């Protein structure tokens, strides 16, 4: 991890100034934070959205550097944001991490219980990365992996893999 602070540009809509202030107070300890507040175009029907692109790879070194205590605070504010908005298409969170491949988590569950569980389990994926990123199990030249939380199994699953030419969706029959 670089000792120099990297820049993060928070892209969001429907997030209160208080929530942005709390998120920024956590991220400011390690990053230069800029904001890009956008208008909700209502294409995905969510009331609130926040995108946080971390400029580091998703691995155990990141969590040691960022500090688990700070990560727990960030997870806590995400869960509180969902609680304040209630069930339904209330909030969508996109967390992405640089690296080869880029790792992205989409948290967009309607029910508060599942939303909280998904947020709580994001960092558990670090242990599974060597298995999930095995080149024999991914499409050739994968540049990005997208995780979505599966309620049926109560765990994060690789949903899609993006290459230079196309996006593959993970299914029981393999990549399609």
The answer to whether the CB of 54 falls within 8 A of the CB of 62 is yes
Kindly state whether residue 118 falls inside one of the protein's structural domains. yes
Distance CA 105, CA 86 (A): 21
Residues in the chain: 176
Total number of domains constituting the chain: 1
Kindly state whether residue 145 falls inside one of the protein's structural domains. no
Residue span of the structural domain in which 14 resides? 6-127
Kindly state whether residue 165 falls inside one of the protein's structural domains. no
> What is the per-residue pLDDT across 29-85, written as a single tens digit (0 to 9) for each?
999 999 898 888 777 789 999 999 999 999 999 999 999 999 999 999 999 999 999
> What is the per-residue pLDDT across 103-157, written as a single tens digit (0 to 9) for each?
999 999 999 999 999 999 999 999 999 999 998 889 989 999 999 999 999 999 9
Kindly state whether residue 164 falls inside one of the protein's structural domains. no
User: If we measure between CA atoms, which residue out of 138, 148, 156, 81 comes closest to residue 112?
Assistant: 81
Kindly state whether residue 46 falls inside one of the protein's structural domains. yes
Kindly state whether residue 166 falls inside one of the protein's structural domains. no
Kindly state whether residue 133 falls inside one of the protein's structural domains. no
């Amino acid at each position: 991890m670089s000792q120099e602070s990297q820049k993060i540009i928070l892209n969001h809509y429907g997030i209160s100034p208080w929530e942005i202030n709390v998120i920024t107070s956590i991220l400011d300890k390690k990053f230069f934070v800029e904001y890009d507040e956008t208008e909700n175009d209502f294409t995905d029907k969510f009331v609130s959205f926040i995108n946080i692109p971390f400029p580091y790879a998703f691995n155990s070194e990141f969590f040691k550097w960022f500090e688990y205590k700070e990560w727990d605070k960030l997870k806590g504010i995400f869960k509180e944001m969902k609680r304040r908005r209630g069930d339904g298409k209330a909030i969508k969170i996109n967390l992405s991490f640089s690296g080869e491949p880029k790792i992205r988590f989409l948290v967009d569950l309607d029910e508060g219980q599942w939303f909280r569980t998904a947020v709580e389990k994001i960092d558990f994926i670090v242990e599974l990365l060597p298995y999930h990123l095995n080149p024999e199990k991914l499409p050739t030249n994968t540049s990005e992996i997208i995780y979505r939380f599966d309620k049926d199994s109560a765990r994060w699953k690789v949903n899609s893999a993006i290459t230079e030419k196309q996006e593959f969706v993970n299914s029981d029959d393999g990549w399609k």
